[in-house]
Amino acid sequence: MEMGLSMHAQEGEPAERPTDTNSGEAKHTLSGKRETIRRILLAAKAEFATKGLAGARVDQIALAAGVTKQLVYHYYASKEKLFATVLADASVTVMADLVEFDFSQLAAPMAIRAFLNRMFDQYDDDPHLRSLSQEGSRFHESREVPGDKFSDLAPALVAVLKKILERGIASGDFRSGIDARVFAAIAALVTSGGFTNRFMMSVLAGFDTTAPDGIRAWRQHSADFILAAISAGKDQVPDVPAT
């Protein structure tokens, strides 16, 4: 578990309702509120990524954002709601980067590699995303979160992959029978595993998957592995009977 796009309105924050929305004063007030929220979310993202949900302190978030603790609670009724907003914001950014990119100009195998590389590079470019993904998994597993944006946006991501896979099957590059949803899940697990499960992956791979050389190696190996699994002409290994 991304960060450009914002979920502020969807997260139920109080909206400004000036009597004259065209006035310079109203625009200044709205602009000031958005900037305040942006600073709060940036500070919260860093605090949660560094200390986790349990260790994060709202007073430290307020201090880093240059606002009062009371104002943070004005926009977000609890630390958990603030964390959920940070996760939603991250999800929208991660998904938008993958969904809005034009893969149609690339041949199917290159499009899949580009998709996997972009997914991988999100974790490489934003170290906070690594910690947030781990903390976000624990957060969602321990409670039901209404309005989960990742779940809402997942179908659009699967649709992008489905189109690429169908092109690859039609061109003879990919084997048939690939489930786009399962493929998306496996791709996310393999590409992000070197970051989110560093200890186990590094021990098994024999190199630090978060060091510069290790990152390049894992990026290459993970894409090669996934592409080899869907390439046409590869016989599927039968399942081992359960004992």
- Residue 105, CB-side half-sphere exposure with 13 Å CA sphere: 2
| pLDDT of 5 higher than 50 | no
pLDDT at residue 92, as a whole number = 87
Rounded to the nearest 5 degrees, what angle is found at the Cα of 96, between the Cα atoms of 92 and 100?
165
Concatenated DSSP letters of 3-35: --S--TTTTTPPPP--S-TTSHHHHHHHHHHHH
pLDDT digits (tens, 9 = 90+) for 155-214: 999 999 999 999 999 999 999 999 999 999 999 999 888 888 888 989 999 999 889 999
> pLDDT tens-digit profile of 55-113?
999 999 999 999 999 999 999 999 999 999 998 888 888 899 999 999 999 999 999 99
Q: What is residue 241's predicted lDDT score, i.e. its pLDDT? A: 56
What residue ranges do the domains of the chain occupy? 24-230
pLDDT of residue 134: 80
CATH 1.10.357.10 fits 24-230, yes or no: yes
The whole-number pLDDT of residue 25 equals 58
Count of residues making up the chain: 243
pLDDT score for 22: 56
Average the pLDDT over 12-38 and give the result: 63
Q: Say how many C-beta atoms besides its own lie within 10 A of residue 114's C-beta.
A: 16
Q: Is the pTM value of this prediction over 0.85?
A: no
Q: Is the pLDDT of residue 7 over 50?
A: no
Residues 208-233 have pLDDT tens digits of: 988 999 999 999 999 999 999 999 97
Q: For the segment 125-149, what is each residue's pLDDT rounded down to a tens digit? A: 988 888 888 887 778 776 665 556 7
pLDDT at site 2:
35
pLDDT tens profile 163-180: 999 999 999 999 999 999
Is a pLDDT exceeding 80 seen at residue 19? no
Question: What per-residue confidence (pLDDT) applies to 76?
Answer: 94
CA distance 173 to 157: 21
Report d(CA 99, CA 170) in Å as an integer: 22
pLDDT at 36: 94
Q: What average pLDDT does the chain have?
A: 83
pLDDT given for residue 240 in this prediction? 47
